[in-house]
A = this chain, B = another copy of it.
Amino acid sequence: MTALQWGGRFSAAADPSLIAFGSSLEEDLVLAPFDIACSLAHIEALEGGAIVTPAVAKSLRTALEAIEIEIADGTFASYARALGVEDIHGAIDARVRELAGSSGEWLHAGRSRNDQVATTLLLFVRDRAVRAAHLARDLAGAIVERASVELEAQTILAACTHRQPAQPVLLGFMLAAWSEPFIFAARRFLSVANEAAATCPLGSAALAGSSLPLDRDRAARALGFAAPSRNALHAIGNRDAALDLAHACVRAVIDASRIAEELIAWSAPAYGYVRLGDAASTGSSLMPQKRNPDPFELVRARAAQLVGSYAGALATLCGTAPSYQRDLQVTKAQAIAVVEVALAVLAAFAGAWEGVSFVRERMESAALEGYTVATDLADRLVMDGTSPREAHARVGAEVARAESEHRALDATYDARACVAAKRTRGSTAPDDVRQQIVSLEHELAALGTRL
């Protein structure tokens, strides 16, 4: 028995090296459980249309359930690899025919790999989008928790722009800022999950629909979709949900990379603002004294890599005619790879985050040096009626003088006074930060109920 799902018209056998070149099996293996679900739903559609007998349906279901176990226990992957098939769908199809005998031939009735792949991919997207939402929310939660602890400790540091000290802020305020992108990410992941559950391509067949009376509503319901898709041709060539998830993943990893960059900088002795736990650093094979922030460096590099991978996925679609072209296999593989790498990155970032401890005294002593109070001094002049431009110039000149005389700007006005003086909503003033944290906690709780 050949494992290929076609061939009647061909006289020569396919070239095995070209089959290998064309195979997406390795990238597809993660789709296996979703293909089972898709096939079970297709049986509903076949039954609903009275296309298969209950006996055939039962036999197919028994086979699929057996394969589900082989997938879960890891034996199916080696079976599939040995077959020399083009993809996971072919592998499962072959195994069904082995297990269900002649009934097995009926599983593919009225189904094309086109609608099968599109549906399976959506199921994968829904699963991973929810997982990603969990990861992002939990990460945001872990950061907010630290924000709360550091707010209580009143830890202060000099916030930088352009890596130059800008203004003193509470570390709790900064951590609250760091949590925001992951809340946004969690919302975005949920929105991808919802979008991916909107319409079910199954029953679109190759592109035109089927002349078999498949019960598409029943299949869609069985898989938890809101409705069958509207147009078969569009449904089978549409990769929007997978791309949206991949994009959301890239963006979340970029957000993580920005914080990673800060933590790498801060773990250098020049700053000494954080200490990475032994569990979150690595050593050197040559230099015995090293303690390297590798997990964070890898998060940073993965962001750059994923930007490229996502661009590659998009580029496979540029100028690719609508409907199915084999190029979409690469689009799919890229999207899957982006998602899987990103989930690993977010999990690793969360793990490494646990190993971060803040060295409050280093932060605070640095915050009290320098001229980060300058803006507030200028603001005080403004409140006393000096024009902002004049105030800016005057304090600027005073900074230049103080710097040349190696002294502070104004002994009576330090970083803590500066923080306390803020009067706008969303500022680093302690009371405002407290409110921000409460608001973040509410949002996290609300997200929790949607997961």
Contacts of A108 in B (CB 8 A): 285-286, 388-389
Q: CB distance B10 to A283 under 8 Å?
A: yes
Contacts of A372 in B (CB 8 A): 287, 289
**A305 vs B315: C-alpha distance in the bound complex, in angstroms?**
7
For A163, give its contact among B277, B293, B295, B345 (CB under 8 Å): B293
Stretch at the interface among A12-20, A31-39, A72-80, A122-130: A12-20
Beta-carbon nearest neighbor of A89 in chain B: B285
Given contacts A17-B351, A258-B319, A304-B318, whether A106 and B210 have CB atoms under 8 Å apart is no
Q: A29 in the interface, Cβ–Cβ < 8 Å?
A: no
**How many copies make up the complex?**
4
For A380, give its contact among B211, B320, B355 (CB under 8 Å): B211
Contacts of A434 in B (CB 8 A): none
Given contacts A298-B329, A305-B334, A309-B312, whether A393 and B7 have CB atoms under 8 Å apart is yes
For A6, give its contact among B5, B284, B305, B313 (CB under 8 Å): B284
Given contacts A233-B177, A288-B9, whether A265 and B214 have CB atoms under 8 Å apart is no
Given contacts A312-B305, A312-B308, whether A180 and B6 have CB atoms under 8 Å apart is no
Which residue, of A159, A230, A315, has the highest number of chain B Cβ atoms within 10 A? A315
- List A residues 269-323 near B (Cβ within 8 Å): 269-271, 277-295, 297-298, 300-323
Q: CB distance B216 to A15 under 8 Å?
A: no
Q: CB distance A319 to B322 under 8 Å?
A: no
Q: CB distance A9 to B396 under 8 Å?
A: yes
* Min CB gap A283→B, angstroms: 3
**A161 vs B292: C-alpha distance in the bound complex, in angstroms?**
8
Q: A102 in the interface, Cβ–Cβ < 8 Å?
A: yes
| A-B pairs with beta carbons under 8 Å apart, 29 shown | A6-B283, A8-B393, A10-B281, A15-B279, A15-B351, A15-B355, A18-B295, A21-B295, A21-B298, A22-B295, A97-B389, A105-B387, A110-B388, A159-B208, A161-B207, A162-B293, A163-B265, A166-B206, A167-B287, A168-B208, A173-B208, A209-B423, A209-B427, A211-B422, A257-B317, A258-B321, A289-B371, A297-B326, A304-B318
Q: A153 in the interface, Cβ–Cβ < 8 Å?
A: no
**A315 vs B304: C-alpha distance in the bound complex, in angstroms?**
5
Contacts of A326 in B (CB 8 A): 162, 292, 294, 297-298, 301
